[in-house]
Structure 1
Amino acid sequence: MQRISVIGNISRDQTRYPDGHGNDQLGGAALHVARAAIRAGARATPVSVIGGDLRSLPHHPALSGVDWTALRVTTGPSARFVMHYDERGRLLNLKAAYGASSQLTDHAVDHITRHPRDLYHVCCRRPLNVPQVLKLLTDSDIGFSVDFFLSSADELIGEAAPWLPHASWIFANAREYALLDSVFDASVLGGIVVTDGPRPVRLISRGSQVAEATPPATAPVEVTGAGDTLTGTYLARIACGNGMSAALEAAVDAASRHTTAPPLMLHRN
């Protein structure tokens, strides 16, 4: 089985909700996607850059199965994100301090060059130079998938557009899918997994819906990372040979369970 290399941030996250609760936790799309893929049976590594404040990350007791060979530790602080949600778990605003993640593009290009046989998932977030990375993957004929984050999706979908028809899978929420639909004839896009809160998750291929899965009713504890968990689980199940419908069901179940589990807290040796 090919290893899944997940290009994206690992960060310190602060989440805040209207009722006053929230968490200070480990986060970042690359960490959540890779962790979910490993739990679902795949080989996966986060291609990320962190600062010295998270240097003990590979020793975190909840992350013992993660392949850390693509992690770069540098000086300075790691990326930090503060996310405010509404009462339905929808993101209202995001404050970012990228820190060590400003080196992510160079690190990702180096990793792709040295590991052209991996499968790649690109978390299309700032500060990554998304066009540079997607162009390299496309020109090198390397399989890849992508996802976006709503706070920057307007910009980054436009920047990524020339290479999205080459993506094996695109993961988007309903609003991001509407942005994609405004840019593309849907028939040129291979596979799109569209989430929509508690409503059914749809799998659309070449403009036609081919599967859907309804999330179970839950009482969420923390929504951050749920979409990334869905993405990692789906990619892993596809890599393991599952059909699209089975992979989607497993991914939706994993994402729902993620929202009811305690967040991944910072750990000190």
Structure 2
Amino acid sequence: MTRLDVLGNVSRDVTRYPNHRGGARIGGAALFVALAAARAGRHAAPVCVLGQDLAHVPQAPGLGGIDWSACSKAEGPSTRFDLRYNLQGELINVRAAYGVAERLTDHVLAHIERYPDGEYHVCCRHPLDAAAVLSRLTHHRATFSIDFFLTSAETMIRTAAPWLNQASALFVNAAEHRLLQSLADTTALPEVVVTDGPRPARVWSFGREAASVLPPSQPPREVSGAGDTLAGAFLAHRSRGATPTQALAEATEAAAHFVAAPPLPVPARPRA
């Protein structure tokens, strides 16, 4: 099976909730998508740039199954996100310092040139130059899927619009789906996976509902990364021939387990 290469960030995150949940953890869409895909049995690799503070992450326990051969390491700090949520788990503010991920686009484009026949998932989020990446993937006729991040979704959907109908799947939450419907012809999109918190997750195929699954009810400890987890698991199961309904059921189960589990701590640096 072709490896799933996930183009995006691995970061140091701080999550904050009004009831004092949250705290420091390792995160980033490329990590969560690749980890969920690997746990679902798919060979997956984050294509990312790690700073000196996270250079040891590939050796950390708890991240088994991920292929780290496509990550680059650079001098300087890794990406950092400060994510503030309300009690309903809705993101209300984000602050970012991209650090060495400012080099992400160059690293990704070089990787695509080395593996033009690969299969890719594109995390359409800053600081990635989504237009350059999607243009290159389309030029090589590579298979790729896409997700967005709410705070930059409108800009990124507009940027990605010329290539959206070439994507095998798009992953959005309910608010991003409304933006997508206002900015693109969703009847031309093969597969759009829409999450909506505790409400049913749905798959739309060329504008028609192809699957609907009510997520398991799990008290959330940490919601950041739930959508990425769902995307990675869904892609893994679809790659093995699961129907949209089967893949969505497995993916919502994986996301429910993710939000109920303790967050991934920032791994300690190994002793010299």
Task: Settle same-fold status: TM greater than 0.5.
Answer: yes
What is the match of residue 139 of structure 2?
Answer: 139
- 1:239 to partner: Cα distance: 1.0
Q: Secondary structure at the match of 2:13?
A: strand
- 1:244 to partner: Cα distance: 1.4
What is the match of residue 237 of structure 2?
Answer: 237
What is the match of residue 84 of structure 1?
Answer: 84
- Tell me if structure 1 keeps the 8 A contact 2:204–2:210: yes
What is the match of residue 181 of structure 1?
Answer: 181
- Tell me if structure 2 keeps the 8 A contact 1:204–1:211: yes
What is the match of residue 253 of structure 1?
Answer: 253
What is the match of residue 101 of structure 2?
Answer: 101
What is the match of residue 203 of structure 1?
Answer: 203
Is 1:19 aligned to residue 19 of structure 2? Answer: yes
Tell me the number of residue pairs that the alignment of Structure 1 and Structure 2 aligns.
269
What is the match of residue 112 of structure 2?
Answer: 112
What is the match of residue 71 of structure 2?
Answer: 71
User: In angstroms, what is the RMSD of aligned CA positions?
Assistant: 0.7
Q: Secondary structure at the match of 1:62?
A: coil
Q: Secondary structure at the match of 1:66?
A: coil
What is the match of residue 194 of structure 1?
Answer: 194
What is the match of residue 62 of structure 1?
Answer: 62
- Identical residues among aligned pairs (%): 49
Q: Secondary structure at the match of 2:157?
A: helix
Give the ranges of 4+ consecutive aligned residues of structure 1 lying more than 4 Å apart after TM superposition: none
- 1:185 to partner: Cα distance: 2.3
Q: Secondary structure at the match of 1:9?
A: coil
Deviations 1:152-208 (A, max 9, x none): 001111011011010000000111111111122221111000011110001000000
- 1:233 to partner: Cα distance: 0.1
Tell me the TM-score normalised to structure 2 length. 0.98
Counterpart Cα distance in 2 of 1:183 and 1:22: 34
- Tell me if structure 2 keeps the 8 A contact 1:83–1:93: yes
Q: Secondary structure at the match of 1:242?
A: coil
Letter in 2 for 1:19: N
Letter in 2 for 1:50: L
- 1:117 to partner: Cα distance: 2.1
- Tell me if structure 2 keeps the 8 A contact 1:41–1:240: no
Q: Which runs of 5+ in 2 are unaligned?
A: none
Q: Which runs of 5+ in 1 are unaligned?
A: none
Deviations 1:120-142 (A, max 9, x none): 00000000000000010011100
Letter in 2 for 1:255: A
What is the match of residue 168 of structure 2?
Answer: 168
Deviations 1:59-102 (A, max 9, x none): 11111221001010100000000000000000000000000100
Counterpart Cα distance in 1 of 2:244 and 2:207: 16
Counterpart Cα distance in 1 of 2:127 and 2:190: 26
Counterpart Cα distance in 1 of 2:211 and 2:62: 33
Letter in 1 for 2:238: I
- Tell me if structure 2 keeps the 8 A contact 1:2–1:117: no
What is the match of residue 154 of structure 1?
Answer: 154
What is the match of residue 9 of structure 1?
Answer: 9
What is the match of residue 227 of structure 2?
Answer: 227
Letter in 2 for 1:241: G
Q: Secondary structure at the match of 1:200?
A: strand
Letter in 2 for 1:163: W
- 1:248 to partner: Cα distance: 0.6
